Structure 1
Amino acid sequence: MSSHHPQAPSPRLFSARPVSLLPTEELARRALDSPLMRATVGLSRWCGPVTPVDADGLPDLHDTLTAINEFGLWPRTLCRDPERRSAWTAKITSPAQAEDFLIPWHTARHLGMIECGAGQARPAPELERWLGSTGRVLHWWTLAFHQCAERALRGTAGLDPRTALGRLYESPDGARVPLRLVTQEILPARQTHYLPTRHPPWSTALLTRALWQLNDAGAVALGWHTPGTDTTGAHGHRPEPAWVQLTDLGRFGIRQLLLAEEQPAPLTEEFIRLGADEFLDALADFSPDGQLVALTAWLDARPPDRALREIVSASSGPGLALRRWNATMALGSISSRIEPELRALLRSRDPTVVSLASVVLLASRMLTAPEQDGLTSAYGHWTAIDMFAAATCLGETGLKSFLGSEAAEGIDRFLLNDVPRLWNPEHPETREVLRLLGRHHPDPSIAARARAAETHAPPPA
């Protein structure tokens, strides 16, 4: 019998993990300090008192170039090369060619910072007052961020923003996610016969370009393993970043996006107040990274002995196999601090309590070899049935996923090598588990043995 905690397979979409946010005043300050908002606010002030614009709401070429030089709105690869900047400027014949000017200009108009009419652009009359409002600033930045995410991820890299940003949102706060992993996990699969596990280089390049746009919005930070390599090299080429990190501002923005789509996006301070029953049930809906964050937050908010009491109370009894599965994962993370209490639970008359304690102790590796053998002999079959019963709670797809996983390897043979032990003591879901193993197990020989064990089950008491 395995002595580690398997991850619960689930065919469902994961809920967003709990997050902590900075105070709104600090978020607003960071929003205004982001390159995109700095340029947007700067252009809004610059166009006053009035600036002539064409039918598309764009300044003439002379005014555009003036703004580009004043606010440094050149292409990223030219920012540190005055000679190439001058050459690029000389080739510009229309404001429409200056993307790094157009984005903040259009953003300012979209947010209402700039008003256009009668061939003139001017700052909104309430601009300075609005800039002093935390709520207004965060509303502006959220709209700009969502627009940027659509433009950068869907428009540039052909990715769904929710999918791409969700990978970063699930990472623990402050995590630097290697760009290689981001590329592997969120870029669409490419059907190549010669290198099926690799993505074409241009895919990574498009993702990197999209991430630079999100970096300008203040939503992500990009970095390199070696300090000082974030400079533009020869011919304007910039080395590919090694990692990407979601900023506090980006976390706020993604959460606003989730809420706008009516998706659950809990705050940590709300999540840690959940009772043990709601906490354990919620774990099944988080991604593996989200589970780690949720476990840490909830358990850190209470003493280990109290957490144990609450979890045991919420997960004891029939029909709670999936909750016990999550309970073993939660208690396993604090097992070294509650070893005496776990050992005391082994004396309980409730098999659900004993099973829970035995799984946690076996996984903790705090037991001697004779103690491990004793627990496995006494409660191994009951606990294994409970584990399969938890997998069945996730539906047919979840069960099949579990049966094909490394976590299930050996448990099925352990059960069926000593069939009489299945009924002493009998788990209330033994018959249903055997029926489902007989129907869905990918190994025909094990499936046949499960059907035979079900056929020879003793009559219900």
Structure 2
Amino acid sequence: MSDSSPLPPVRLHPEAELARDALSTPLLSRAARLARWAGPDTRVDAGGGLVDEQLPAAAELLGLTGDAAAAHAAEAWRVAVDTGLVEVTDEEAGTVAAGEDLPLLTGGSPHDILAVWLAALEAVLADATVPDLDDLAEAMDESGEIDFSRLDWDPESEAAFLDGVLGNLYLLTVTEDGPGDGPVPLPALAASMIVPGDLGEPTNDMLEQISDAMMRLDDQFRLLEPIGLVAYQPVDEALMGDPEEEPAAPLDETDVSRYGMVRLTPLGLYGLRARLLEAGFGAPAVGDLVDKGADALLDGSSGYGPLAARAETQQWLDRREPLAAARELLAAARGSDEGAPLRRLRCQQALSLVGAQAEPAVRDVLDDPELGGLARVWLSELGAADVPPPSADLVYWLTIDTLAAQLAAEGNSEELQTLLEGLAQQHSGFFAAAWRVGHPATADVLEAMGRLHPDKRIAKEARKAAFKARSQQGG
């Protein structure tokens, strides 16, 4: 992922809903209960953690039982301290008091609550990259101190790996042709960090690295689920058993869900977007453009997928009077710059959401050299009467403009290639006339046809026409 180009826009749930989700996450709700429980008699160690003698009472308060009860209580307490829900008042005496941020959970705005949750998320992410207790125990020297040189652990690379995995999970979730709200198989997520995208089959060494990464991620996602970042189906314990032993039940190795499945929650999407923005990435959200002008809407949504662009545009329109919005959109669609064709395409799509109320504004631009073709197409699709027929020059200009918009929106897609093939078949003299079209993108469109058309003869015609168009433009 590059921080120089924006990611696809995310569709976030309302902050009030996300704040309710945050308050109900197991870890933050436990941390809040411990913060309210803490008082003058609560004692902590030098690191701010609850002393061992108080862990049973904390676990009982939280309703935790079993061997891991004390560990879960200690984790919730650490989150309470790290998020400012609890404050250590006297380090020497080890005493604590309720922190300044505790009242925010009941009296703060949704944004305040989410800020506390984000602090809790950072604390959990930091814990997730620390070696487990067994590894730490093995690294202890004779004096009981941890010898970090014995650990195969690089804090920075561990944090970078987890950040990369979460970044890829975010990208898969917000990309329109990705799994969306569906879960992602853990092997695929691990492989995304290890196998180059242009490699056909992973090597045996890569497969071993993927297996190791899956085990690390399995531990990490188990830690991240209680804070509400992900919904996680862990790796089937039977897959991690002794290979020499007969499994209790037959293993279906084709069932990918047994290898772990993970998806971001709506709260997780909010959290990862906040972290990406903090790290300098362009991470837009649907709704970012609702208070901006039509020019910002058409330009800003130009790189969005069709679903996100439609949602963004609908939110923008919902705040405006329909006819005035149509006039503003048409004015913003003018231009001869490189982005203008895609602006006009987005404008036409936006006008379809306005509906018949936009008709007066559209009729006003029928004689506009840049918008007249768009206006005729839109009115015809509306079923309007008395739509003047376009001139041959306007037909060619609109064709070039539409193809330029499709190139900008989709690149060299199969759909565009099919469109170009059909165009060349339907109009035998297309190239003889097209190179003369006074559109700034004429040469670029013809070059694309020459590059993409599978028929060598037609591709050669397109390249010749592109050369003529380029010469006519003087470049």
TM class, shorter-chain normalised? 0.5 to 0.7
Where 1:271 maps in the other structure, the secondary structure is coil
Q: CA RMSD in A?
A: 5.1
Instruction: Give a deviation string over 1:11-69, Cα, whole Å, max 9, x none.
Output: 9433645757435xx76665444322221122334453244555555445453234223
Select the residue among 279, 288, 294 that pairs with 1:276: 294
8 A contact 2:286–2:308 mirrored in 1: no
Q: AA paired with 1:48?
A: G
Alpha-carbon distance between aligned partners in 1 of 2:284 and 2:55, rounded to the nearest angstrom: 44
Q: AA paired with 1:105?
A: W
Select the residue among 325, 349, 358 that pairs with 1:307: 325
Query: Which structure 1 segments of 5+ residues have no match?
Result: 1-10, 75-84, 224-233
Instruction: Give a deviation string over 1:244-301, Cα, whole Å, max 9, x none.
Output: 5744x55654454344335566677762232211110001243555323212211233
Query: Which structure 2 segments of 5+ residues have no match?
Result: 130-157, 234-247, 250-256
8 A contact 1:322–1:389 mirrored in 2: yes
Where 2:371 maps in the other structure, the secondary structure is helix
8 A contact 2:26–2:226 mirrored in 1: yes
Taking structure 2 as the reference length, what is the TM-score of the superposition? 0.63
Report matched runs for 1:419-430 at 5 Å.
419-422=431-434, 426-430=438-442
Where 1:417 maps in the other structure, the secondary structure is coil
8 A contact 2:447–2:466 mirrored in 1: yes
Alpha-carbon distance between aligned partners in 2 of 1:269 and 1:322, rounded to the nearest angstrom: 20
Deviates more, 1:403-412 or 1:271-280: 403-412
Partner residue in 1 for 2:400: 385
Taking structure 1 as the reference length, what is the TM-score of the superposition? 0.65
User: Are 1:111 and 2:83 counterparts?
Assistant: yes
Partner residue in 1 for 2:96: 122
Deviates more, 1:181-190 or 1:380-389: 181-190
Select the residue among 426, 450, 461 that pairs with 2:462: 450
User: Are 1:217 and 2:235 counterparts?
Assistant: no
- Change over 3 Å in CA distance of 1:272–1:139 after alignment to 2: closer
Alpha-carbon distance between aligned partners in 1 of 2:186 and 2:354, rounded to the nearest angstrom: 31
Select the residue among 428, 435, 440 that pairs with 1:417: 428
Deviates more, 1:383-392 or 1:102-111: 383-392
8 A contact 2:420–2:449 mirrored in 1: no
Select the residue among 359, 368, 372 that pairs with 1:350: 368
Q: Give percent identity, aligned residues only.
A: 23
Report matched runs for 1:7-406 at 5 Å.
12-14=5-7, 16-17=9-10, 21-22=14-15, 31-54=22-45, 57-73=48-64, 85=66, 88=67, 98=71, 100-112=72-84, 113-115=86-88, 117-118=91-92, 120-124=94-98, 134=108, 137-149=113-125, 158=162, 160=164, 161-165=166-170, 167-168=172-173, 177-180=181-184, 188=192, 193=201, 213-219=223-229, 246-247=265-266, 249-250=267-268, 252-263=270-281, 271-319=289-337, 320-334=340-354, 337=356, 344=363, 348-358=366-376, 360=378, 379-390=394-405, 402-406=411-415
8 A contact 1:145–1:217 mirrored in 2: yes
Alpha-carbon distance between aligned partners in 2 of 1:300 and 1:422, rounded to the nearest angstrom: 40
Higher relative contact order (CA 8 A, sep 6+): 1
- Change over 3 Å in CA distance of 1:425–1:168 after alignment to 2: closer
- Change over 3 Å in CA distance of 1:213–1:295 after alignment to 2: farther
Alpha-carbon distance between aligned partners in 1 of 2:333 and 2:363, rounded to the nearest angstrom: 17
Alpha-carbon distance between aligned partners in 1 of 2:36 and 2:358, rounded to the nearest angstrom: 64
Q: AA paired with 2:296?
A: E
Q: AA paired with 1:13?
A: P
